[in-house]
Structure 1
Amino acid sequence: MKIKALLISLLILSTSVLFIPQSQAAGKGWRYWGYFQAAPGATKWTAAMTGPTVDIADGAVEGWSFVFGADDIPSLAPAVKPSFAKICAGVKGDTDTKRIGLVIEFGSKAWAPKGESPKKTITTCVRTAKTSQGIDVLGQVTKIRAASSGLICGLGGYPAKECGVEIPTPKSLIKTK
């Protein structure tokens, strides 16, 4: 039951509208790792409706973005466009593996944990086994810290300790009239 509640919460966070309504502007939200995907040939990110334990096709692009979100705020997709052709340029395919583009964006200083600074965006092409899932691709590039529920808490040591904590809406995101 806890897993179902967690999945519903993540679904709400990852599929909400693209702005901060006035009524929510001074509220609270969560900072967490948002997960996005772009199928082969896609030019836009889609919020992942499942966790990263799903199969991904050769030519897909996986995206992770450390975001601030509330009930009416989406996971902000990585700013880097999911262009497999650009990300995997020069990485030749073969019959034994698949190639997956990967973007890891560490978010804004506005919602970074106190005393921490976002790292530089990682954009790379991963050659992996045909049976690899999203979590395998991610693990080939960076260290993953996850909660017992499966929620991704940290990538590459960022954030250092917390996991999906609730915080006040960052001042830079509050809209004024």
Structure 2
Amino acid sequence: MRFRRIAALLLAALFPLLNTGQAQAAGYRYWSFWERGGDAWTYATEGPATARPADGDVQGFRFSVSEDSQDASQPRGTADFATICADTPARDGRKRVALVIDFGTAPDAPSGETPPPARTACAQVAPDATTAEALAAVAKPLRYDTNALLCAISGYPHKGCGEQVSAERKPARESGEESGSGPSLGVVAGLAAVAVLGAAAGWQARRRRHD
């Protein structure tokens, strides 16, 4: 009876752990918007339609599949403002905004589409221009949905906008980025609990043989 109580308690604790993998959130395929300070990218706190970069700012866009801002892939490349805007002389009454446009990797691409190579551009726009206006100056055609969500840059992707991707189909992280490839805590704990149950069952069987 004592073994049965122990087994019941272990199974009760094990059940939610074994189901942890089933509760993985799905990802979404979309263009994320980033701001760069020094050598670091920061996920933008507002959309490109309202952000108003200053002259000399570096901003980026990355197309990928991610669950949220904590999981999103950053734009790749190390080009800074001086490099990106080297061939665009300063002009009175205009500002220059350096843009990094990363179309993502093949696993992130919608079915049947191939991402173009990542590129940079220097937009020279009015002093009060938004990031969206700077992007439109160098990367048309842009496509938005009815909720003003940015769906495509330079025509990529050709269709779709922020569509959901199941957890099973979510692309793996590229080399150098954090990955969820190792076993989850729930799986490890579950295997440990199964091992404990097996040992307890063996001990109980041996005890009965000796009684």
- TM score, norm. by length of structure 2: 0.66
Length, aligned pairs only: 154
Q: 1:175 aligns with which of 172, 181, 184?
A: 181
Residue correspondence of structure 1 range 1-177 to structure 2 within 5 A: 23=21, 27-38=25-36, 42-52=38-48, 53-71=50-68, 73-81=70-78, 83-142=80-139, 143-169=141-167, 170-173=170-173, 175-177=181-183
Using a 3 Å threshold, how does the CA distance of structure 1 residues 78 and 72 change in structure 2: closer, same or farther?
closer
Q: Please tell me the residue identity of whatever aligns with 2:35.
A: Q
Q: Which runs of 5+ in 2 are unaligned?
A: 1-19, 174-179, 184-211
CA RMSD of aligned residues (A): 2.2
8 Å contact from structure 2 (residues 43, 69) kept in 1: no
Q: How many Å apart are 1:159 and its aligned residue?
A: 1.2
Letter in 1 for 2:81: F
| Structure 1 residue matching 2:40: 3-state secondary structure | coil
Q: Indicate how the Cα distance of structure 1 residues 125 and 24 shifts in structure 2: closer, same or farther if over 3 A, else same.
A: farther
Equivalent residue number for residue 9 of structure 1? none
1:105-157 deviation line (CA, Å, top 9, x unaligned) = 00111121000011111211111111211000110112110111111011112
User: What letter is aligned with 1:145?
Assistant: R
Identify which range, 48-57 or 163-172, moves more after superposition: 163-172
Using a 3 Å threshold, how does the CA distance of structure 1 residues 28 and 126 change in structure 2: closer, same or farther? same
- Overall identity of the aligned pairs, in %: 33
Structure 1 unaligned spans of 5+? 1-21
Structure with greater Cα Rg: 2
TM-score (ref. length: structure 1): 0.78
Q: Flag the structure with higher helix content.
A: 2
Q: CA deviation at 1:175?
A: 0.8
Q: Using the alignment, how far apart are the partners of 2:21 and 2:133 within structure 1?
A: 40
Distance 1:24 1:88 in 2: 47
Distance 1:62-1:109 versus aligned 2 partners, 3 A rule: same
* Closer, same or farther: CA 65–71 of 1 in aligned 2, 3 Å: closer
Distance of 1:84 and 1:117 partners within structure 2:
28
Give the CA deviation at 1:95: 2.1
Higher share of residues assigned strand:
1
